[in-house]
Each structure stands twice: as C-alpha cells, then as structure tokens.
Structure 1
Amino acid sequence: MVKLAYEANAWGGVVGTAGAVTDVGSGFYETPGDVRETLRAIASAGYTGVELFDGNLLPFEDSMSDFVGAVEAAGLEVAGVYSGGHLIYPDAHEDELARFDRSIRLAAAAGARHYVLGGGAVRSSGRRAADFEVAGAFLDTVAERAEAAGLIVSYHPHLGSLAQSPEQIDALFTATSIGVCADVAHIAAGGGDPVDFITRYAARLKYVHLKDVDLSSNAFLPLGAGDLDLRRIIDAVALVGYDDWITVELDGYPGDQAAAAERSRQFLNIHQPD
C-alpha cells in the first residue's frame, strides 16, 4: 500500500553547509529552519512520512535519538534522506565518498527507508560523454555502500544537473545500475514524458517524487495547479506495480507552504494512489 510523505525543503529551501566551496568532503545539502516545526507542519497537513536533506541530520549526529523522538512525536516515519555530489571528477571521489559514508550513516541511524542521490556537475565547458561513465560507476559504488546499510537507493534526475534531458538521463542510467527515483516535475521540465519514463524504467523504479509544474516557467506548484496530467502519472505508477512511499515536494514555491501542502493532500484524497 502506497504511503504519502512530504519533503521538508518546502519550509526553507536548500543551502549548502559552510566550507563546502573549499572542502569537498564537508558539503551537505540542508534546509534552514527548525526541523521540529517542519515535522509538525507535515503531520498537520495529513502526511505520514518525511524526506529531508542529509545536512539536516548533522546537528543530531551525536544524539540521533533526539531526532528519532521528534519524528515519532509527530506521528511520522522517515521515508527518505536526500544527498548529492559532483560525481564526475575522479580526483575528488575519495573526499566525496568520505562524505557519502557519513551521510549514509546518518540516514541509517535516522531510520530512513530510502536514500536518494542527486547531482552530477555540469562543467563550465558543458557535459562530456565521459562524465556519464564516470558518474555512473561512482553512483554504483555509493549505492553499494548505502544498500549495505539497509537503505533503498535511487538516483534523482534534476534540472541543472548532469542528467536533465531525456537523452542525458538515459546516458547516465545506461552507465549505472542504481535504482530510479522518478521526480515527475523535473522529468517533464527537462523535456521528458513522466509516464514514458516510469514505464521504461519500471524494473528499476525504487521511489517517486510527486509535484506539479508550470512548464512555461518551470515553477513548481501544488498538485493539480500546474500542467502535469497527474492522474495519468499516478495511474502509471500503480500500473507498474509500485507500492512504496510517494513523496510530495514543493521547493521554491512563494505561496503559503502549509496551505500548499494541504492542497496537495486534498488532491491526493481525490486521486488516491492504489
């Protein structure tokens, strides 16, 4: 039975940890703000799970029971933890791997089910064919370590990353055996068809991010407020037999975040995944 989570980055967006510009091994995504307030807001909107950035677990590194207690007090589960990296620079892999190992330990200690990887840098001179091969092999290494920690691992195609367009996404997934996280809005904004993507990668589909988008501006919107045929997408997810967490996400939305979370939940009350 599908369960519904919400991504914590709605309340505060995303920044990088200090020092990451000069120290590859210290770079984590994080959302500013009080994570406890975010947990309560997600639960109040009717969701039963949360996804958050690995950097938001750093303050609890030596007291993870405090974080776990806050999640349980809100009546939630940790559906996933999101991480990322440059991936394409072999000389940096040792330091990136040290950071990923730390991130994996945090995610496992927090009780996360999914471990989501994003990123893949785009060079100032543009993407090179070899970048997909290098990133793909490195993703396999990271995935192996995360799976050994008991996490379900997937890669999330993202606007502005190595894998944005359908051709780029296919090139990366050809070079790696990692599972697939289908973020339907990023796939559509990158020029792809989310239903086609879900169907073609059904055997590797490990996780789903659900949000809507205005394709004229690539602005993300609450479910039902944008251009995506979400009913068709939800049907496709069910048709391929997916029965794990679906995480609703709404980063960069300038409106009332609590009202948006509730609106998306109401949309799913009508268009409930099977």
Structure 2
Amino acid sequence: MRHVDVARTPAMQEDAAMRIGHHTITWGGVVGHPAGVTSIKDLHYLSYGSVIEAVREIGAVGYEGTEVFDGNLAALAHTPELLLDALAEAQVELVSVYAGANFVYADVLPDEMARLRRACELAQRFGASRLVVGGGARRVSGTTEADYDRLGAALDAVDDLAADHGLEASYHPHLSTIVESPSELEALMGRTRIGFCPDTAHLAAGGGDPAALVRRYPDRLKHVHLKDIDLGTGTFLPLGQGDLNLADVLAAVVEAGYDSWLVVELDSTEGSPQEAAAASLAHLRELLGQLPARPAA
C-alpha cells in the first residue's frame, strides 16, 4: 500500500502517469489570515490543522502526493525543513499550492498579485509543480460583464507569473465566486488561457455536470480536484459516499488525455480525516481499476 500507482492495475496499463494525492485541508478545514481584513496583501488561505500531521497521515494511507494552501507555506517560510523532512519521510510529493484572490477590484489587484507572486516563490521553494487559484468576487451591486473581463485578464497574469516560477497554473471554479454555474464558467473560459481545475463537488453544487464540463474543456484540463457531495444538503463527502457519478468523471478525464495527478480535496469531515482519506482512496482505486485500458498508440 506504500506506493500508489493505479496504472499498475490490469485495466490501466496505458495510464502510467496517473497518480493520486490528497489536500491537507481535511485536517482542520480552511480559514483566512485575520491580517487580510485590513491588509489585502496578507490575506492567505490557511488549513487550521497541522500540515505536518496531515502529510504523515496522507502518506500512511497510501497517497503519493499532497496539496497545501499558500498560507501554510508562508507560515513555514522560516522553517522549511519541517515540511520538507515530513514530505520526505512520508514519501509524499508536494504537487500543488492553492491560493485565491478577488481579482475584480482594480485598486487592490497589485497587492493581490504581489501575494500570488509570493505564493509562487514559496511553491517553487518547497518543490511544487502546480499553482491552483480560485476567486472572482461577487459584488453587492451584482456581477457585470466587465468583472469577467477583469478576472480573465488577472488570471492570464497569474498564468504568466506561475510560468516564471516553473509552475503550471489552473483555475478552480468555486462556490461564492462569480464562477459557480456552467454559464458563468463559459463566460470566463473564453476570456483567459489559464488551465482548468474542475472540482467535482463545486461544479455539481453550481448546477453543472462535472463529467460534461470536463468534456466541454478537454484541452484546458491541467489539474483535478475530486470530492463527493450530498446534493440535498450540500455536504461535501468522501468519494463514493455522495450523489456524484465519479466513474463518468474519470472516464471524461481519460478521454481528455489527462494522465497526471488526481487530488482528493475534502473540506472537512465529522470523523477522522485519515479514515476519510482512506475511504476515498479505496473508492478511487476501485473506479480507476474499472476503466478500460487505452488503446495502444
């Protein structure tokens, strides 16, 4: 169970690069740094629990990779060995770093971009290869077409910033932003070249079919977040415990030619984060093993 290589199951011989990671968010949930209330440049996402404990338990379950928030890396900037040693001991790769911003307010955008530059610097320092961003604020007065223009232009700048630091960037549609529904995603995607990171539960909660949206943007697929959801209550759940057709999502991912990281990202759980992670991994392995092998080239 130590090395997770779903490609080695009989039905997946052609998917040699498909690997599985888990976000540290489940260990403590997500908060924002309070300094950000009065200083936009300091408004990081943070996982409130110990990322060191999370990495150890993620590795013990059998995951190969992990994703962390920019704020957790910022908190470890002066003691990077704490996380780097934990990653090495757990045999877990830091795959990606998650950050976000409002993006639609011209006056604060330079401070937001400075913070995202710092996130890229930290991601590079800690060995990540990907930057995932969410955002696009909903105004009290309502969203305008110009907001999508601003968001698209800002995300292009993020894409450039990430590339400057050797990272691949992708955008994560998210509840509470101006990119929740399929029509809102459509409004954005033609305005930016940044990659697409589908989150199965957020897309479904926004009224979309996650598999259909992956098939709608196959050439933009650069990263994948997987979680399940009870659509009646809106509760996020471990894989296989909710209402989503994850088998179809994975089929769509394979059809798109994507053969890289699948990251489980469960915001919280009522029980043990490690047990929830184990349940998701078992279900994901089962689904991947049922996929037909790709035809030989």
Partner of 1:37: 53
Whole-Å separation in 1 of the counterparts to 2:130 and 2:120: 10
Partner of 1:49: 65
Whole-Å separation in 2 of the counterparts to 1:249 and 1:38: 13
Q: Determine if the alignment matches structure 1 residue 158 to structure 2 residue 145.
A: no
AA aligned to 1:105 is E
Deviations 1:4-47 (A, max 9, x none): 00010001111111210110111100011221111111112211
Whole-Å separation in 1 of the counterparts to 2:280 and 2:220: 26
1:195, CA displacement in angstroms? 1.2
Whole-Å separation in 2 of the counterparts to 1:69 and 1:253: 27
Structure 2 length as normaliser, TM-score?
0.90
CA contact (8 A) 1:209 1:248 kept: yes
Structure 1 residues 86-165: aligned runs within 5 Å: 86-165=102-181
Structure 1 residues 108-257: aligned runs within 5 Å: 108-257=124-273
Whole-Å separation in 2 of the counterparts to 1:89 and 1:5: 34
Deviations 1:177-225 (A, max 9, x none): 1110011111111001111111111001000001111111111111111
CA contact (8 A) 1:219 1:253 kept: no
Gaps of 5+ in 2: 1-16, 292-297
SS in 2 for 1:140: helix
1:64, CA displacement in angstroms? 2.5
Whole-Å separation in 1 of the counterparts to 2:259 and 2:38: 41
Q: Determine if the alignment matches structure 1 residue 81 to structure 2 residue 106.
A: no
Deviations 1:42-74 (A, max 9, x none): 112211101010100012213324322221111
Q: How many residues align?
A: 274
Whole-Å separation in 1 of the counterparts to 2:269 and 2:147: 32
CA contact (8 A) 2:29 2:49 kept: no
Whole-Å separation in 1 of the counterparts to 2:40 and 2:278: 38
SS in 1 for 2:21: strand
Whole-Å separation in 2 of the counterparts to 1:162 and 1:105: 27
Whole-Å separation in 1 of the counterparts to 2:97 and 2:205: 23
* Most deviating of 74-83 and 61-70: 61-70
Partner of 2:8: none
Partner of 1:9: 25
Partner of 1:62: 78
AA aligned to 1:132 is Y
Whole-Å separation in 2 of the counterparts to 1:208 and 1:45: 20
SS in 2 for 1:272: helix
SS in 1 for 2:91: coil
Structure showing greater radius of gyration is 2
- Misfit runs of 4+, over 6 Å: none
AA aligned to 1:196 is A
AA aligned to 1:156 is H
CA contact (8 A) 2:65 2:92 kept: yes
Deviations 1:96-130 (A, max 9, x none): 11111111100111111210000111111221111
1:269, CA displacement in angstroms? 2.2
CA contact (8 A) 2:28 2:50 kept: no
SS in 2 for 1:4: strand
1:271, CA displacement in angstroms? 1.2
Gaps of 5+ in 1: none
Whole-Å separation in 2 of the counterparts to 1:66 and 1:82: 19
Partner of 1:21: 37
AA aligned to 1:226 is G
Query: Aligned Cα RMSD in Å?
Result: 1.2
Q: Determine if the alignment matches structure 1 residue 267 to structure 2 residue 283.
A: yes
